[in-house]
Amino acid sequence: MRYTGKAALVTGGSRGIGAAVVKRLAQEGLKVAFFYRQRMDKVEELLEWARDAQLTVVPIKVDITDPRSLLSAITDAKANVGPIDYLVNNAGVSHYKLLTEEEERELEEVLRTNLESVILLTREIAKGMVIRSFGSIVNISSIWGLYGGSCEAVYAATKGGIISFTRSLAKELGPSNVRVNCVAPGVVRTDMMLNHFTEEEIAQLCQRIPLGRLAHPEEVASAVAFLLSDEASYISGSVLEVSGGFIS
């Protein structure tokens, strides 16, 4: 196993891409703590899967937009799985509407969830990585962060910010043997995506994807696992598109 004896923390880990990442990393031998906010039914499904597979998966409920709660959750994660060697910033929200229709609370939710919490969490986890001179971080962005997305301007802005944050932090942490990379998924079949688009709209999106279909969460998880691993030991500051060749 590539990660035996080490620990990972995944945000937004109860469903979709996050759940796929939790499963993949646990299967690779990692002790995995994951943050979630709601959907206890999905958490129970994940825990049942882990018990059946005899793998270590620890859920921690937290509102990552609340700095105090986030710091407390970090402490809980370390207490349960040990020092965090691998971090996956996956949690994200979006409101599919025109900017002129966005309410203040919606803007704050997207900014705090998708960008501010990532910066705060990474700052805290990176402290231990620097001390140990070891660590790998993967931030989940989006193709909208690269190319922009109509009716998701704020979401796209946060995901673009994640890309800049990744590249900048890779320069800061590289001398401490800590790698930082980014995965930019295309259109993935997740609850968030299916809640935003009709089947007709999904079919139209698929016409812009040379592979002709949506991504599966597990395909994104494979990219994350690769970038975290020693197989990517000389890759840092990179943005890996998992988009099926999406045409902007």
If you write DSSP's letter for every residue of 24-59 in order, what string do you get? HHHHTT-EEEEEESS-HHHHHHHHHHHHHHT--EEE
The per-residue pLDDT for range 217-233, each reduced to its tens digit, is: 999 999 999 999 999 99
CA distance 109 to 111: 6
DSSP-assigned beta bridge partners for residue 184: 241
Q: What is the pLDDT of residues 22-59, one digit of tens each?
A: 999 999 999 999 999 988 899 999 999 999 999 999 99
Active-site choice (86, 96, 155, 234): 155
| Model pLDDT, residue 3 | 64
Average pLDDT of 175-196?
Answer: 90
Residue 153 scores a pLDDT above 90? yes
Say which range, 2-16, 108-122, 137-151, has the weakest mean pLDDT: 2-16
Residue 17 confidence (pLDDT) above 90: yes
Cβ-based neighbours of 228, under 8 Å, separated by 6 or more: 3, 8, 25, 86, 88, 136, 138
pLDDT value, residue 4: 67
What pLDDT is attached to residue 1? Answer: 41
- Position with higher pLDDT, 154 vs 198: 154
122-134 average pLDDT score: 98
Q: What is the mean pLDDT of residues 146-165?
A: 94
Residue with tokens 């190319």: 147
Query: Is the model's pLDDT at 166 over the cut of 80?
Result: yes
Q: Which domains does the chain have, with CATH numbers?
A: 7-188+219-235 (3.40.50.720)
Give me the chain's average pLDDT, please. 94
Q: Does the active-site annotation cover 155?
A: yes
Question: H/E element holding 206?
Answer: helix 199-206
Helices 153-173/104-111 angle, 10° precision: 30
Residue 2: the pLDDT is 58
